[in-house]
């Protein structure tokens, strides 16, 4: 049985309209969205950076509408005490830009402060206006987030020990 995620991603890859952009310009808006998630400007930054219709997947959720992305990022900003994304490297392949990053998050789980540091890569595609139409994250959500949750984290640790 094929996951809807894989089918949705493949469909997004096949969509037309991707245009080349300058690396620095593209990456700055992308990173600003995450680093401003806890601030009131995130909605404006997303409107400037992402197209109205898009494909966004951060391994937790798939979003295809900019307003839904704004709501999601605002909720994320409210749920974390700190969110900081630092670019380590940027690479281009055709019209795609790949951004390798390190993300640090602080959040509370059942009153306990969690410091999480994870690595990932985001694949980005842009339209004619230079706005993101495809954003696919490749990172380990278990290591970056789920391992810190009660019950789920313990279960995942036991599963990993058996592999």
pLDDT digits (tens, 9 = 90+) for 32-68: 888 887 777 899 999 999 999 999 999 888 999 999 9
d(CA 93, CA 32): 22
What pLDDT was estimated at residue 98? 95
Total domains in the fold of the chain: 1
List the alpha helices (DSSP H) in the chain.
4-14, 23-35, 42-49, 66-79, 141-144, 152-162
Assess whether pLDDT exceeds 90 at residue 163. Answer: no
More confident residue, 75 or 40: 75
Signed CA dihedral, 42, 44, 45, 47: sign only: positive
DSSP per position, 69-85: HHHHHHHHHHH-SEEEE
CB neighbour burial string for 130-142, b if at least 16 within 10 angstroms, e if fewer: bbbbbbbbebeeb
What pLDDT was estimated at residue 45? 93
* pLDDT category of residue 146 using cuts at 50, 70 and 90: very low
pLDDT digits (tens, 9 = 90+) for 92-113: 999 999 999 998 888 787 777 8
Query: Whole domain around residue 128: which residue ranges?
Result: 4-162
- CATH number, position 153: 3.10.450.50
pLDDT above 70 as % of the chain: 83
Q: Which residue has the tokens 């380590």?
A: 88
More confident residue, 72 or 163: 72
């Amino acid at each position: 049985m094929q996951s809807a995620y894989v089918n949705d991603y493949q469909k997004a890859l096949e969509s037309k309209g991707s245009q080349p952009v300058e690396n620095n310009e593209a990456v700055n808006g992308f990173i600003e969205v995450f680093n401003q998630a806890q601030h009131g400007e995130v909605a404006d930054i997303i409107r400037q950076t992402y197209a109205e219709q898009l494909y966004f997947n951060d391994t937790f959720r798939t979003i295809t509408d900019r307003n839904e992305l704004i709501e999601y990022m605002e909720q994320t900003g409210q749920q974390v005490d700190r969110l900081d994304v630092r670019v380590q490297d940027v690479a281009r392949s055709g019209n795609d830009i790949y951004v390798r990053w390190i993300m640090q998050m602080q959040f509370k789980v059942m009153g306990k402060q969690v410091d999480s540091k994870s690595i990932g890569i985001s694949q980005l595609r842009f339209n004619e206006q230079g706005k993101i139409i495809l954003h696919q994250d490749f990172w380990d959500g278990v290591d970056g987030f789920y391992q810190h949750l009660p019950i789920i984290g313990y279960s995942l640790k036991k599963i990993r020990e058996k592999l």
